[in-house]
Structure 1
């Protein structure tokens, strides 16, 4: 399997403008993400961005960067453009989309995202973790996976929602927004129009499910810190200053 890890990065964050270049322990945040992606040992790593200053910072630290259009509506659109630029011959089999605001991500989580591809019928693979904090069960910012268990560590995703679901006794699973795509599935996905449930829930992955694509989720044991606010940034600085 030929694997390309792509990290989309844009400067226009609403809550934390310029966050890809935010300094954490002497390096831009996006460089920490690239380093941890490389430590997964899965293959080539590149940052896909619309900002020259992000590309320059990434290259200055020895990583690959590719410029993409500024008008993409989602990270998946951006990584598809990057894939076409970096792999015009179509030799890559699998693309892993690692969000650019996960500077403390464990490389093992990136590797775990590939495990559902043991099943050839899986189009897209992702991650989930069991919810243990009661307040997260009803928090609309915590996206839940509703899925059919395939094993103790895997779900076949039937739905994603911001609501508390499914109803009744049993675990709830927090979706971690890290995706692995078979390249043919990524091409099909970005060619689809936004779907009704995607628009209603504001969850892009529902477009794939509504189109009949299969998403499986590997269940892991920790949620990586996503940096969305100044408070998150300070937490990341505390964590990485101790590395």
Structure 2
């Protein structure tokens, strides 16, 4: 669901996994832009520990922005890196309550006490989570002459 993904983003997520073999998975996130609505449930949010590990992913705004000027919430980007052995282990884990509630498979990882490192970037790309997103991406690709 990230058709405009940049090679640098892939490299960053992979590099983070290689630099932190103790983390079972790595993924990416970026700050929300001023024009984006973090309340949209199709935009998955992630909060991070001070060491860059994911604390939680949600379709809701997390944490609650009691102070309207600060919200340490990032937009999750749908890319992952992991070793084959962890993927095989992940497949044996039962679906978790949080995963079922949010419909986010990465919560199964966290709920089973595994770590997900997060590569933070400023790279902005248009995800495809809704039919409207698809139209936006088609328009961008046409402008770049990637499709007729």
TM range (shorter): 0.7 to 0.9
Give TM-score scaled by structure 1 length.
0.52
In structure 1, how many angstroms separate the alpha carbons of the residues matched to 2:55 and 2:38? 18
SS at match of 1:207: helix
Is residue 146 of structure 1 aligned with residue 47 of structure 2? yes
Alpha carbons of structure 1 residues 230 and 145: separation in structure 2 relative to 1, 3 Å: closer
Q: How far apart, CA to CA, are the structure 2 residues paired with 1:105 and 1:139?
A: 21
Give the superposed CA RMSD.
2.0
What residue number does 1:238 align with?
139
Indicate the residue corresponding to 2:9 in structure 1.
Answer: 109
Shift of 1:236: 2.8
8 Å contact kept, 2:2–2:78: no
Name the SS of the counterpart of 2:50 in structure 1. strand
Aligned to 1:206, the other structure's residue is in SS state: helix
Match for residue 162 of structure 1 among 53, 59, 63: 59
Q: Whose Rg is larger?
A: 1
Aligned residues: 139
CA distance in structure 1 between the partners assigned to 2:141 and 2:27 by the alignment: 25
Provide Cα deviations, 1:2-54, integer angstroms capped at 9, x if missing partner: xxxxxxxxxxxxxxxxxxxxxxxxxxxxxxxxxxxxxxxxxxxxxxxxxxxxx
SS at match of 2:119: strand
* 1:231 Cα deviation after fit: 4.0
| Compared CA separation, residues 230 and 138, structure 1 to 2 (3 A) | closer
Structure 1 or 2: larger strand share?
Answer: 1
Kept in 2: contact 1:127–1:177 (CA 8 A): yes
- Determine the structure 1 residue equivalent to 2:103: 202
Unpaired segments of 5 or more residues in structure 1? 1-100
Residue 73 (structure 2) pairs with residue 176 (structure 1): no
Which sections of structure 2, spanning at least 5 residues, go unmatched? none
Instruction: State the partner residue of 1:120.
Output: 21
Distance (Å, rounded) in 1 between the aligned partners of 2:21 and 2:45 = 25
Contact 1:176–1:223, Cα closer than 8 Å, also in 2: no
After superposition, residues 4-83 of structure 1 pair within 5 angstroms as: none
